[in-house]
Copies of this chain bind each other. A is one copy, B any other.
């Protein structure tokens, strides 16, 4: 159907309340959202069904708190990524149930536990130094209403570690793999599972890792066909895409 404002204008035009020229002017002046096109944002909120997220980097505690208040008026839960400790303190004062994840510096406020995904999301990291990025993926996926299973320090130089996780891995409907240095873990995991693998290169490494470039290139060149890659250290993006994929299995979201 045409949006209400348009219908109203058309009716006035039909009844002669406004001339064709006035109608033309009205149509031209309408915010384009009303023309059916760019209702994108609202559609997005509806479609995603995910809480909106605050990217806390370079935002003051006041800014974070203020955006949080506004979002919490519309949605039950909240995720703040790259949240400075001061912003977390400010949030906690007002919302005592806020929880902070130190490694990833993520803050969450879960007032209503949701089950949006269908199946488990696996999050695996190659080394202990990759944990902050993995944690960001986990917190993101959980806040988006998913069950997450994870293991850290399962890098390929000690193969038994990831093989030990094979059973659990193969129960996941999508797997996030976080690795720095040579970034080889996604290829190995990609070969062990039959579901999409979202690979996150990290900036963990020394010398010729060049800030994660080595891991990034390794993942892009994976010989496993089921590996897609996000930006270096982008745990949030990986968790978010995994949540989108996992929701596909939810009969209600299709």
Contacts and interface: CB of A to CB of B under 8 A. Distances in A.
A1 interface: yes
Interface string A192-234: 1111101001010111111111111111111111111111111
Nearest to A248: B248
A55 to B, nearest CB: 9
A166 B7 CA distance: 21
A162 B62 CA distance: 27
A206 B233 contact: yes
A146 interface: no
Contact of A20 (B10, B37, B196): B10
A254 B244 contact: no
Interface stretch (A68-76, A87-95, A104-112, A183-191): A183-191
Nearest to A228: B228
Contacts of A99: none
Contacts of A233: 206-207
Given A35-B35, A127-B223, A217-B217, A232 B207 contact: yes
Interface string A21-47: 001100110011101111111011001
Contact of A187 (B119, B182, B208, B234): B182
Contacts of A2: 20, 23-24, 27-28
A209 B217 contact: yes
Contacts of A248: 119, 173-174, 195, 245-246, 248-249
A148 interface: no
18 contacts: A2-B24, A2-B27, A35-B35, A37-B37, A38-B163, A40-B158, A43-B170, A44-B191, A47-B193, A118-B254, A119-B248, A157-B187, A173-B254, A182-B184, A208-B232, A210-B217, A214-B220, A215-B221
